[in-house]
Amino acid sequence: MCNNFTRRELLIRLALVFFCLALWRNELSLLSFPVLCLAWILDGGFQRSGQLIKEPLVKAILVFCMVLLLGFLWSEYPEGGRMKWKKYFILLIFIPFLSLLNKERLPWVIGASLAGCSVVLFFGVYQWAVLEGQGIPLFKMSYLSFSAMLGIGIILTVYFAGTSITKKAKLLFWVLALVLLFIQFNQSARGLILATLGTLPVLIYRAEIRKFTTILVSLIIVVSIFSFNSAVFQERLVQVKHDIELFHQGNYSSSVGYRLAMWDVGLDGIARKPWLGHGTGTPESYFENTIVTYKEGIYKDLPKFQRTSHYHNDWIEIGMHLGVLGILTLAFLLWSWCQSFKTHHLANLGAALVCYIFMAGLTDTFLIYSKIPILLLIITAIAICWQQERERLRN
């Protein structure tokens, strides 16, 4: 019996490690979901469902996915296209992952997560510094996803810099944060850089006024230096100016012009069906059908510039699917995410991560990125489990 338990425990730990490492390869990631679910069933996860559902984020994810399923009742599905909205349901993987974590398995998960992120960081830096490229082709990872990962790393390192006891640890985390920020400034993701910079004050606002002012001024100086010394960042600023000029000329075939056009059509679509939206799965085809006649067809050639898949904004995207109902459900999800951290005495970290999700979602559909939401869920589960073990030791 003891031997069977040991084998079962080893299989569960290997499943958790595989899930954390497989995240960065799409083919392996798809395989890791059923593997993790099988490990959860093997571990008797269903028996702990009643206790698990008390977690605010678990409740919110279930509500969010139930509302998405409800949206099929008034949608015109099935349809073709890329159907990126299906990635919302990946949030459900948080339930078995959190359920499987305990004191003994936590070091395995932390080690696998750090190893995976370190490998991705290495290849991302190599792609930028040596090959002078963006993103990580080896992992089929766009510059947006890599920049989003860097932003999360910066938030975590700044948080640890603020909570570390020793001066050496504080210095180490601050140096690491600056290195990651420098790398992010050399990626072409403007919106994600702004999301990172907009989130950092959330981590330091509780400091004394003198300390807060010192850190904020130092941050402004560092950002200014990085901005002026990053050729990629300067190039993207010039591109923004060029894109805006094209937009005013009626040419929407640019990064900025395409987003503004998508938001224009999306907001109009929400206004037409404000309460329940157009139904789960239909906004993609709605855009392509509407632009033929919308505003005398000024956007009708945009699918040639970029294949339609989403509205480049979390709130407009979910509003098109489910209207005000969906927007309120998304707001409830982010609020509950913050509450889960607060419940476990990590309110500051939770506020920062949720602020980052919110700000990143203003310029892109952040919640349907392939890898980053899963990484955030892994971090959330690790933080919850870590704090639970600390509270048990205290008691």
The answer as to whether 197 is a domain residue is yes
List the Cα angle 194/195/200 in 5-degree steps.
100
The answer as to whether 105 is a domain residue is no
List the Cα angle 264/66/315 in 5-degree steps.
20
What's the rounded mean pLDDT across residues 112-134?
95
List the Cα angle 373/26/18 in 5-degree steps.
80
- 68 and 190: one domain? no
- 325 and 297: one domain? yes
pLDDT confidence tier of residue 390, bands split at 50, 70 and 90? confident
Within 273-371, where are the H helices? 283-290, 302-305, 314-343, 347-360
CA 386 to chain centre: 21
The answer as to whether 205 is a domain residue is yes
Per-residue pLDDT reduced to its tens digit, 92-111: 999 999 999 999 999 999 99
Per-residue pLDDT reduced to its tens digit, 73-84: 998 865 566 778
C-beta neighbour count of 390 within 10 angstroms:
12
Cα dihedral: 25, 31, 33, 39 (round 10): -120
Lowest-pLDDT choice from 229-238, 256-265, 339-348: 229-238
State how far the Cα of 330 lies from the Cα of 334, in Å rounded to an integer: 6
What's the rounded mean pLDDT across residues 217-229?
85
Contact 185, 193 (CB under 8 A): yes
pLDDT at 145 over 70: yes
The residue with greater pLDDT, 335 or 1, is 335
Domain boundary among 217, 248, 279: 248
- 231 and 260: one domain? no
Tell me the CA distances in angstroms from 346 to 384, 387, 388, 392, one per residue in order: 9, 8, 11, 16
The residue with greater pLDDT, 219 or 298, is 298
Structure tokens at 390: 């600390």
pLDDT at 191 over 70: yes
- 277 and 364: one domain? yes
State how far the Cα of 57 lies from the Cα of 243, in Å rounded to an integer: 39
- 165 and 226: one domain? yes
C-beta neighbour count of 207 within 10 angstroms:
14
> What secondary structure does DSSP assign to 63-103, as a single string?
HHHHHHHHGGGGS-----S--GGGGGGGGGGHHHHHHH--T
Q: Quote the pLDDT of residue 47.
A: 82
pLDDT at 15 over 80: yes
- 285 and 178: one domain? no
The answer as to whether 307 is a domain residue is yes
- 276 and 372: one domain? yes
Domain boundary among 248, 266, 299: 248
pLDDT at 335 over 80: yes
The answer as to whether 315 is a domain residue is yes
Number of domains making up the chain: 2
In degrees and rounded to multiples of 5, residue 90 shows phi and psi of: -65, -25
State how far the Cα of 18 lies from the Cα of 24, in Å rounded to an integer: 11
What's the rounded mean pLDDT across residues 53-60?
94
State how far the Cα of 75 lies from the Cα of 283, in Å rounded to an integer: 9
The answer as to whether 14 is a domain residue is no
Q: Quote the pLDDT of residue 299.
A: 93
- 240 and 367: one domain? no
CA 43 to chain centre: 28
Q: Which amino acid does the sequence have at 136?
A: I
Contact 242, 198 (CB under 8 A): no
Q: Taking the CA of residue 254 as centre, how many other CA atoms within 13 Å lie in the half-sphere pointing to its CB?
A: 18
- Nearest alpha carbon to residue 376 among 182, 160, 178, 98: 98
Structure tokens at 312: 């480049």
- 164 and 256: one domain? no
3-state DSSP assignment of residue 141? strand
The answer as to whether 47 is a domain residue is no
- 299 and 372: one domain? yes
State how far the Cα of 66 lies from the Cα of 75, in Å rounded to an integer: 15
- 254 and 234: one domain? no
In degrees and rounded to multiples of 5, residue 308 shows phi and psi of: -70, 130
Contact 338, 60 (CB under 8 A): no
- Within 8 A by CB and 6+ apart from 314, the residues are 330, 361, 362, 364, 365, 366, 367
Contact 320, 286 (CB under 8 A): yes
Per-residue pLDDT reduced to its tens digit, 248-284: 888 888 889 999 999 999 999 999 999 999 999 899 8
- 196 and 224: one domain? yes
Domain boundary among 222, 248, 274: 248
What's the rounded mean pLDDT across residues 66-92?
85
- Structural domain span for residue 374: 55-81+250-395
State how far the Cα of 97 lies from the Cα of 328, in Å rounded to an integer: 26
The answer as to whether 40 is a domain residue is no
Structure tokens at 273: 């069906």
- Looking at every residue in the chain, the average pLDDT score rounds to 91
The residue with greater pLDDT, 348 or 4, is 348
pLDDT at 1 over 60: no
Per-residue pLDDT reduced to its tens digit, 271-323: 999 999 999 989 988 998 999 999 999 999 898 888 888 899 999 999 999 99
Q: Quote the pLDDT of residue 99.
A: 95
